[in-house]
Structure 1
């Protein structure tokens, strides 16, 4: 069985896009399991991933397609925690990116880019035009 880590940020539309791309892969639903992962950088209210809209939206898309889904969360730097989590037993990492200018990329960096550079796992990148 293929294990995919779908890393979601705070954008529901990107999470839905990622889930749809995984759903549309040429794998039978019973041959894949997905962990929807969110890394909290600040969580003053103590929310859990099951209360987090983008994670729920991604889960719903995948479950509607008959794919086994679990939700999980971490705290810290997203690019570090996603790679650390995925390298435990995942076969694929799914991330989304947003359109940025070259200057924006240089100034703010990119979690997706860091993940692609820091892991040996295959990465499914889902570009998202805002």
Structure 2
């Protein structure tokens, strides 16, 4: 079974685009997706299953026969995704990109860019912008 680690954030549209991108990969009937939600702050000790975007992505993936595991963590998103992929020896990392200006990337950073540059694994970048 192939394993893909997919990073989710709170944006339901990006989570949908991420899941729809993953199900276009050939052989999804033999694919396990580990949906990782990295909490910036979690003062209420929320569970990953409480995040609407995670639930939506899981629903789409499971509707297409993908086995789904959920993981919630806290910290810096890019290193957490890369570490999770390493821990599970994943074949691929999937992220949902977003359009940002060069200034926005400099100020806010880019998880997608950090993941692409920080791993030797293939990275699938899905975009909700075209919808």
TM-score norm. by structure 1 comes to 0.94
Structure 2 stretches lacking a partner, 5+ long:
none
Correspondence 1:99 to 2:102: no
Structure 1 stretches lacking a partner, 5+ long:
none
Could you say which residue in structure 2 is the equivalent of 1:85?
A: 84
Cα deviation per residue 1:71-97 (whole Å; 9 max; x = unaligned)?
Answer: 111111111111111112211100011
Could you say which residue in structure 2 is the equivalent of 1:125?
A: 125
Cα deviation per residue 1:3-53 (whole Å; 9 max; x = unaligned)?
Answer: 011100110110011001111211141x11101110111001111001111
Could you say which residue in structure 2 is the equivalent of 1:43?
A: 42
Number of equivalent positions: 129
- Larger deviation: 79-88 or 112-121? 79-88
**For residues 103 and 121 of structure 1, what CA distance do their matches in structure 2 show?**
27
Poorly superposed stretches of 4+, deviation over 4 Å: none
TM-score norm. by structure 2 comes to 0.93
**For residues 127 and 12 of structure 2, what CA distance do their matches in structure 1 show?**
14
